[in-house]
Structure 1
Amino acid sequence: MTRFTVIRDNTPPDAIPRGAVVAMGNFDGVHLGHRAVIGSALRMGQAHGKPALAVTFEPHPRSFFSPNSPQFRLTDETNKLRLLAATGLAGAVVMTFDKIRAGTSAQDFIHHDLIERLGVSGIAVGYDFHFGKGRVGSPSLLVSEAPRLGIEVDVQAHVDIEERPVSSSAIRMALAEGQIADATTMLSGPWFVTGAVIHGEKRGRDLGYPTANIRLDKNCALKHGIYAVRVGRGQGNDQVRIDGVASYGRRPTFDNGAPLLEVFLFDFKGDLYGQTLDVAFISFIRDELKFDSIEALIRQMDNDSAAARAALASAPDAFPKLGTID
């Protein structure tokens, strides 16, 4: 397997491949629109005989400019890189988005970051990608500068599904509404989260449904409810997949507390505390409900499990394609 290299602000110049083609963007979710840009960079790189890299920014610029506004990210930095590593790219350049970068002019970004430091031979961007101080950098600026700089620039149009543009915002909205199938289509694979299993109240054991509990990011806007899920345990080629049913919400029957992801793994016995799991959301089953009795809750959990098994049986290969990063 080809090694996926992550280049950061402190990476020595001699460790940066010169002449690479870059796909630029925030790439939150690495959805179909992003993949069109990445595909363009891969084709350009193959034509040039050069590696193709992603150029992305962390933290997300929106977090820098609006630190007090909650932002539901589809992928954190690590999972974004894992998705990028599975696309065929040779690596990713992760640029720190801070006060200095926010104040860098578009022209300085092009000449210092892209030409001098990276030595790019080609750039692929989406039609709506903007950069530089005041967001004055645009695809049209890159196209106009390309002949003078001796580089190739390709601008990808928006990707539509049933006349609706694919975007990270559209995917966030779909997840917030429990429209898992729509989100999956736009992402070209199931949306997933990663987290460490923590100790909970252990009510699930008493109900016959012991769960692996994971605290998601506080800004996660996933609709509260019950989902069919597929869980990845381990990393890389050694990862084991286990089907299950999960609840995400506040547990209104019990404590109505902070949102928590509770995953019941089918046909599994073992201790998962402290382990990190990937949880892919395959299908939405129902809204979160409050039950008048424990007996009614258990009956519904039995029905939910049956529904989840049926949904997963019809999606045998559903899981995000993930690469490994250094």
Structure 2
Amino acid sequence: MDRRDARHDRIAPLDPASRRGYDFNLFCKRNGAHFGGKEMRMFIGSANIKPIEAYPVVAIGNFDGLHLGHQAILAEAIQRAQEKEGTSVILTFEPHPVKVLHPERDLRLLSTFQVKMRQIEATGIDVAFSAEFNKNFAELSPYDFAKTYLHNKIGAKEVVVGRNFQFGKDRAGKVEDLIRFGKELGFEVVVKDPVTVDGIPVSSTKIRELMKEGNVYLAARMMGRYYTMEGKVLPGDGMGKKLGFPTANFRLPNELVPKEGVYAVRVATLKAEGYVTLDGIVYIGSRPTFGEHENRMEVHIFDFNEDIYGKRLLVTFIDWIRGDQKFESSEALVQQMKKDSEQARAVLKEKGATPG
């Protein structure tokens, strides 16, 4: 999807009563299904950030993964804008600051820019501004950022941020500074406290850590939805079919991939009757039993035997089954795969449409 598509495509309303969270709806939209719903105006690049006339309430952040903390900030901005018959606005940054300032860290994001913006649109935000983050932008002092972007460019009346929000050169600006600048520049600052799950503060950093540990279920609870990966089915070597477990093969993306292992998943695909969600398991790893070393992603869909080469699938990670391991023989691997499938079926029967 190109940037023009991201600016104009619409998003389906959420449907939490079924298995369709908004990642499923985004997938359907990208692949030809059409939904109603509100369209968010989107402006990419600092030069395209412009004043909003109708009482702009601005939420600021990177919003990677759009977790529960982010959702609370956006909900606050939307509510306040509606109360004043104004405009809910988000100000985000592309690329992610860490990718510009610390490329050596090889930060893997929870969502691509396009998916992030579609997720934000699904919340009901009116306008999205994406400032270009580069080294010149990084040199802005906290005050210059507030004056240039919030006051001069957007004309913010209220600004909503998280308690740990930092901004400006070297992240020197704190919430207290923003409140002080707001009094001078004419905008009110609303500060949202962190959201916690099981007593753990929710953050994109914490969710990335959980994903790298294979704890996709706790990560999902922090995001308010299960983690998804979308990809095109590629031809494989037929090994899964030979073992009695035919698989759909994917090229791993450049962004975050959960820890190597086996997971219970739900898979959205297109059949004759339309988009359907099927149960299955996914393997991420290098197939050490067969002496291979390059990581791959293989999905086995239960009770499914149709040709889906070349089609796009949305794989939703529900829970961890086991880690990657080397078996003494292919027969031992098959026996373990049978156990994995039984365990995954039980997990999928237990887990609902949204992580609880």
TM-score by length of 2: 0.81
Query: Corresponding residue for 1:21?
Result: 57
From 40, 44, 47, the equivalent of 1:8 is 44
- Shift in Å at residue 274 of structure 1? 3.3
Aligned to 2:151: 115
Amino acid at match of 1:262: E
CA contact (8 A) 2:112 2:255 kept: no
Do the aligned residues in 1 keep the contact of 2:69 with 2:202 (CA within 8 Å)? Answer: yes
Q: Which amino acid aligns with 2:243?
A: L
Mapped partners of 1:132, 1:15: distance in 2: 21
Query: Cα distance 1:18–1:197, how it changes in 2: closer, same or farther (>3 A)?
Result: farther
Instruction: Give the distance between the partners of 2:216 and 2:51, measured in 1 at CA.
Output: 41
- What does the per-residue CA deviation read over 1:158-209, in whole Å, with 9 as the maximum and x for residues that have no partner? 2222332111121112122222221121111112222232232221121222
Contact 2:110 2:255 in 1 (8 A): no
Residue of structure 1 equivalent to 2:316: 280
- 1:13–1:27 Cα change, 3 Å: closer
Superposition map of 1:158-307 within 5 A: 158-218=194-254, 220=256, 222-233=258-269, 239-307=275-343
Q: Deviations over 1:78-101 (max 9, x none)?
A: 222232222222242222211221
Contact residue 46 and residue 131 of structure 2 kept, 8 A: no
* Structure 1 contact 7–16 (Cα < 8 Å) conserved: no
Q: CA RMSD in A?
A: 2.3
Question: How far apart are the structure 1 equivalents of 2:51 and 2:296?
Answer: 42
Q: How far off is 1:221 after superposition?
A: 5.3
- Kindly provide the amino acid, as one letter, of the partner of residue 314 in structure 2: D
Aligned equivalent of 1:95:
131
Deviations 1:259-305 (A, max 9, x none): 21111122333333333332211010111121122222122212211
Q: Whole-Å Cα distance in 2 between the matches of residues 244 and 110 of structure 1?
A: 49
Q: What is the aligned counterpart of 2:101 among 60, 65, 70?
A: 65
8 Å Cα contact 2:145/2:168 also seen in 1: yes
Give structure 1 stretches of 5+ with no counterpart.
320-326
Q: Which letter maps to 2:190?
A: D
Count of residue correspondences: 316
8 Å CA contact retained: 1:19, 1:118? no
Deviation at 1:13, TM superposition (A): 6.3
Counterparts in 2 of 1:247 and 1:54: CA distance versus 1, 3 Å: same
CA–CA separation in structure 2 for the residues paired with 1:120 and 1:239: 42
C-alpha deviation, 1:227, in angstroms = 0.3
Partners of 1:198 and 1:15 lie apart in 2 by: 46
Q: Give the counterpart letter for 1:45 in structure 2.
A: A
SS in 1 for 2:105: coil
Query: For the Cα contact (< 8 Å) 1:75–1:193, is it kept in 2?
Result: no
Residue in 1 that maps onto 2:80? 44
Matches within 5 A, 1:134-173: 134-173=170-209
Q: Aligned pair in 2 of structure 1 residues 91, 214: CA closer, same or farther (>3 Å)?
A: farther
Q: TM-score, normalised to structure 1's length?
A: 0.88
Tell me, yes or no, if the aligned pair for 1:24 and 1:125 is still in contact at 8 Å.
yes
Aligned equivalents of 1:130, 1:71: Cα separation in 2 = 19
CA shift, 1:107, in A, is 2.2
